Chain A
Amino acid sequence: MKPRSHEPIFWSLFGGGGMLAALVGPILVLIIGLLVPIGLGFGPEAMNYEQMRGLLGHPMMGFGLAILIALFFFHAAHRILHTLHDLGVHASERLKLICYGSAAGGSALAVLVALVLVLRG
């Protein structure tokens, strides 16, 4: 019997991350990185400390952002792993461990930070 593959899990995480990055990524970058800094449609105090603490203290927003970041990481890990393979770097067990391992580590950190923000309210 063939051993069961882990591929479906990573494929789903890749797909979920890719879908979210496509649906909400561009608008988030536009708002956070371009509109807020020049104050186009936003006040000069937009995204200040108090405001962001209030926003991310909410479980939906805090954990929502953590999950978004986590899926970004897993999406990238999967694509980078397979593209490196196409570029001639063999997708060895060690490379898989590096790619998915760093994605998992970053994700755990994101969830932990969200937990701190939500618990402090």
Chain B
Amino acid sequence: MNQPRTYTRGMQRWWLRRPSYRFYLLREGTSVVIALYGLFLLAGMAALAVGPGAFETWRGLLFSPLSWLLHLVVLAAFTFHAWTWFKVLPLTVPPVKTRRFPRGFTDATLNRVALWAWGVVSLVILVAAMRGLQ
């Protein structure tokens, strides 16, 4: 017997079909920036281990105007990652843990707690850095 030949829509350029698909790709795309930033930090660490000359080269790059502009983009990517990460947090926390949460603790509460934690951690690091690195 012949299989019925039904129409199935192809997956060509699916990301153009809905804004939410492009949003998804943009969110996943932040991981490329995160990897590159990891490499940049690793280069700084390695330069530090090599010696003062190598580290000054890395630091010179960091202090260049182009680096400053690139870091604006990197900051935007990290912030977008953080915002979306805390947004989907209620979906990714294992149900075993969420069952132990008190009554009235909704997904929105979890999101709010995470955003507060983000703010507090950032502030603590900023203050510590401003005191320690002068």
A interface residues, Cβ below 8 angstroms from B: 15, 17-19, 21-34, 36-38, 41-43, 45-49, 51-53, 55-56, 65-66, 68-69, 72-73, 75-80, 82-83, 86, 88, 106, 109-110, 113-114, 116-117, 120
Contact = CB atoms under 8 A, between A and B. Distances in A.
B81 A21 contact: yes
A100 B45 CA distance: 22
Q: Which 5 A-B pairs have the closest CB atoms?
A: A33-B71, A76-B35, A72-B38, A79-B31, A22-B82
B71 A25 contact: no
Contact of A47 (B59, B71, B85): B59
B92 interface: yes
Nearest to A50: B52
Interface string B92-114: 10000000000000000000000
Given A29-B71, A106-B38, A49 B117 contact: no
Main secondary structure of the interface of A (DSSP, over half): helix
Given A27-B126, A33-B74, A76-B34, A113 B46 contact: yes
Interface of B: 11, 25, 28-29, 31-32, 34-35, 37-39, 41-42, 45-46, 48-49, 52, 55-56, 59, 62-63, 67-68, 70-72, 74-75, 78-79, 81-82, 85-86, 92, 117-118, 121-122, 125-126, 129-130, 132-134
A25 B34 contact: yes
Given A25-B37, A53-B48, A69-B45, 12 more contacts: A22-B86, A27-B121, A29-B71, A33-B67, A34-B75, A37-B67, A46-B133, A46-B134, A72-B34, A76-B35, A80-B32, A109-B42
Interface centre among B38, B55, B92 (most CB of A within 10 A): B38
B102 to A, nearest CB: 22
Given A45-B134, A48-B59, A34 B72 contact: yes
